[in-house]
Chain A
């Protein structure tokens, strides 16, 4: 299985801050890396697919980059609705695997 290592596990930030979350795969997954936002009581929401492609309807303050084994999710200017947990996931090969998540909290 491909292991996904995500960091940090938690992050405190303020509205308007720029934040970056990283995800590392245990082997190359080319660009098959996806980012999700997860809020309590809801299903995860796809933000970024194929490492850098913004899912339809997702605000442009979200962006993704990387290829191979190292990837980042950046939120350029945090909004109140962005405080949530973020997961990366590889869809390069099954079994699909997720990072452990980054909980983004209000400072």
Chain B
């Protein structure tokens, strides 16, 4: 059974860098065929796709965050990570990691339970 679990600080100061890790179990990221994605839900709003990365290292990001975001993969640890720089209160959200692609036409078929990140001094 494939499972994803987000981890990282729940509180980040303005102007600092938000760093989250998603630990994958039940499948190897290096097996290929899927992308590994980050999504967030801002308070009282819908879901926002942040970006994804394939095992090959090919990554793509939403344009509004592209200048501040990096998604990377650590295959020995079977983890992937999100870094979002220069955060403000507007980045306060629940952050989810998810697996996509494979046999589900680029949908996201496995999600973590989410982690709340608050940006505040």
- The residues of A with any CB-CB pair to B shorter than 8 Å are 1, 31-32, 34, 36, 41-46, 49-50, 53, 55, 87, 89, 91, 94-101
> Nearest residue in A to B104 (C-beta to C-beta)?
A49
B46 touches A98 (CB 8 A): yes
Per the CB 8 Å criterion, the residue count for chain B at the interface is: 24
**28 A-B residue contacts at CB 8 Å?**
A34-B107, A34-B108, A36-B108, A41-B113, A41-B114, A43-B4, A43-B113, A43-B114, A44-B98, A44-B108, A44-B111, A45-B111, A46-B107, A46-B109, A49-B105, A50-B104, A50-B105, A53-B104, A55-B109, A87-B46, A87-B47, A89-B49, A91-B105, A94-B52, A95-B60, A95-B63, A98-B48, A100-B45
- Would you give the shortest CB distance from A23 to chain B, in whole angstroms? 12
- The residues of B with any CB-CB pair to A shorter than 8 Å are 4, 45-49, 52, 60-63, 96, 98, 100, 104-109, 111-114
Contacts of B112 in A (CB 8 A): 43
A91 to B60, CA, bound (A): 13
A interface majority secondary structure: loop
Contacts of A97 in B (CB 8 A): 49
> Nearest residue in A to B37 (C-beta to C-beta)?
A96
